[in-house]
């Protein structure tokens, strides 16, 4: 009878375990600032500051307020939660959350896929970007599984959208933030140390820098207003001269800029900029910009996109501006999977992913594979031959030559241990990887609950068995007493 009760108890707990796990699974889840709009410059000469502000307030009718923007972001997630998540990367000077929408078929999950980010409203008086980015998010949701380009992006890219980097500047109708600081001059610079003091850095800048350190972005773009051009690095020169100053990946950047300009309604037909693109330093140099910082310190290829000649066009022109920019915005995101070389890097001795470095011969720039999955996504201009090298301390370097045409190239590397190096790097790494996997498994909340229930079940079984043994001896003792009495 005790055996039957134990089996029944075991059956009940197994079913409870399954139901509990299922319930948890269901619940788990630079318009560079040197440019001044001619219309605004003229108004500054003839109108008082108060009248200028009144004009901007009139222009703002039909644009989303900061409160409207937050509601639009939350409404988007409520409608498109199956391919999105929302999160904040920090707060502005006045405490406004810097909301981000991530769009992916697996939002929030780390995968061997490239990540792309769009940032709007870097300058408070350039609000078109924030409007277009909300339209972009909703278009992707509405057309997922219907439009091939929308489906390609959602299934193969982690797209992160920050509609407003400068909500305070927007509400104040000013270029800078609430401290009157131009956020596109507030990043560390490669030539001059003016922004090296961390304490003097603005909270919005700190939030962007922290975000990029946490998320491995392949490419990005910021949206500005006051011109119509795709701007690429470098933005400054060492002697502050106004000259073309190419970065190591100049050809790849020109390719990306032309991709955006060429897909635009009329950007590529510009009379001011050849093909609708420009090197930043050639246009006019700036220092402390976000674009160059991304490339140098974040391993991220960033463009600065001037998407409307008018900084603050009437709201009834927003739909037209969206139509002019939509295809360009989509093509730029898709470029991170439709071009370049992609792959993963593994160790031959223990088969673990290696966060090695990827170098292209004759291009003085290195990118790193991701730490956990060791995937890399290296953008390159098509139509050329490249020698790709994977390297990591403790392992032999491997190189392969590829030809980039009009399609992406997949290239995985398996690196062999370098036994000539007399250190214990390799076995420790493999052992640590194994230990790390165990720790990651143990820290899994589903596994923790399962283990707890198993332990409880085992303890109950032990008690039942103990009780059965005790009862057995009691019965034997009683029978023995009866026999003695009978004798």
Q: Which residues are catalytic?
A: 306
Q: What is the 3-state secondary structure (H, E, C) of the chain?
A: CHHHHHHHHHHHHHHHHHHHHHHHHHHCCCCCCCCCCHHHHHHHHHCCHHHHHHHHHHHCCCCCCHHHHHHHHHHHHHHCHHHEEEEEEEECCCCCEEEEEEECCCCCCCCCCCEEEEECCCCCCCCHHHHHHHHHHHHHHHHCCCCHHHHHHHHHCEEEEECCCCHHHHHHCCCCCCCCCCHHHCCCCCCCCCCCCHHHCCHHHHHHHHHHHHCCCCEEEEEECCEEEEEECCCCCCCCCCCCCCCCCHHHHHHHHHHHHHHCCCHHHCCCCHHHEEEHHHHCCCCCCHHHHHHHHCCCEEEEEEEECCCCCCHHHHHHHHHHHHHHHHHHHHHHHHCCEEEEEEECCCCCECCCEEEECCEEEEEECCCCCCEEEECCCCCEEEEEEEECCCECCEEEEEEECCCCEECCEEECECCCCCCCHHHHHHHHHHHHHHHHHHCCHHHHHHHHHHHHHHHHHHHHHHHHHHHHHHHHHHHHHHHHHHC
């Amino acid at each position: 009878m005790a055996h039957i009760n134990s089996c029944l108890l075991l059956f009940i707990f197994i079913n409870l375990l399954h139901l509990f796990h299922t319930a948890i699974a269901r619940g788990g889840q630079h318009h560079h600032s040197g440019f001044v709009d001619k219309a605004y410059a003229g108004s500054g000469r003839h109108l008082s500051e108060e009248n200028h502000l009144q004009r901007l307030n009139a222009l703002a009718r039909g644009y989303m307020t900061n409160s409207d923007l937050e509601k639009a972001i939350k409404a988007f997630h409520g409608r498109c939660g199956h391919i999105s998540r929302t999160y904040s990367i920090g707060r502005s000077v006045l405490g406004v959350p810097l909301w981000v929408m991530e769009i992916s078929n697996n939002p929030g999950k780390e995968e061997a896929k490239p990540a792309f980010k769009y940032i709007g409203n870097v300058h408070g008086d350039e609000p078109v970007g924030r409007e277009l980015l909300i339209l972009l998010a909703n278009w992707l949701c509405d057309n997922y599984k219907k439009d091939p380009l929308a489906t390609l992006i959602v299934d193969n890219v982690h797209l992160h959208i920050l509609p407003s980097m400068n909500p305070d500047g927007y509400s104040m109708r000013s270029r800078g933030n609430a401290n009157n600081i131009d956020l596109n001059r507030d990043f560390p610079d490669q030539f001059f140390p003016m922004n090296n003091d961390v304490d003097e850095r603005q909270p919005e800048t700190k939030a962007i820098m922290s975000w990029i350190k946490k998320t491995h972005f392949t490419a990005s773009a910021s949206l500005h207003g006051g011109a119509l051009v795709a701007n690429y690095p470098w933005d400054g020169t060492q002697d502050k001269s106004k000259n073309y100053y190419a970065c190591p990946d100049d050809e790849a950047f020109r390719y990306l800029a032309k991709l955006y300009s060429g897909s635009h309604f009329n950007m590529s037909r510009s009379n001011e900029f050849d093909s609708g693109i420009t090197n930043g330093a050639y246009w006019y140099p700036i220092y402390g910009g976000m674009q160059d910082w991304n490339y140098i310190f974040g391993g991220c290829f960033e463009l600065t996109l001037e998407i409307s000649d008018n900084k603050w066009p009437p709201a009834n022109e927003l739909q037209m501006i969206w139509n002019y920019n939509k295809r360009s915005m989509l093509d730029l995101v898709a470029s991170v999977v439709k071009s370049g070389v992609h792959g993963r890097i593994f160790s031959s001795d223990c088969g673990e992913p290696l966060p090695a470095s990827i170098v292209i011969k004759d291009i003085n720039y290195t990118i790193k594979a991701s730490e956990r999955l060791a995937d890399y996504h290296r953008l390159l201009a098509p139509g050329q031959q490249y020698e790709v090298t994977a390297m990591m301390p403790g392992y032999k370097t491997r190189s392969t030559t590829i030809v980039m045409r009009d399609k992406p190239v997949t290239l995985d590397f398996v690196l062999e241990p370098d036994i000539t190096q007399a250190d214990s790097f390799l076995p420790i790494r493999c052992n640590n990887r194994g230990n790390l996997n165990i720790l990651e498994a143990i820290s899994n909340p589903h596994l923790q609950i399962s283990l707890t229930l198993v332990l409880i079940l085992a303890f109950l079984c032990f008690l039942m068995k103990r009780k059965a043994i005790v009862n057995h001896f009691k019965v034997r003792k009683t029978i023995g007493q009866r026999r003695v009495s009978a004798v």
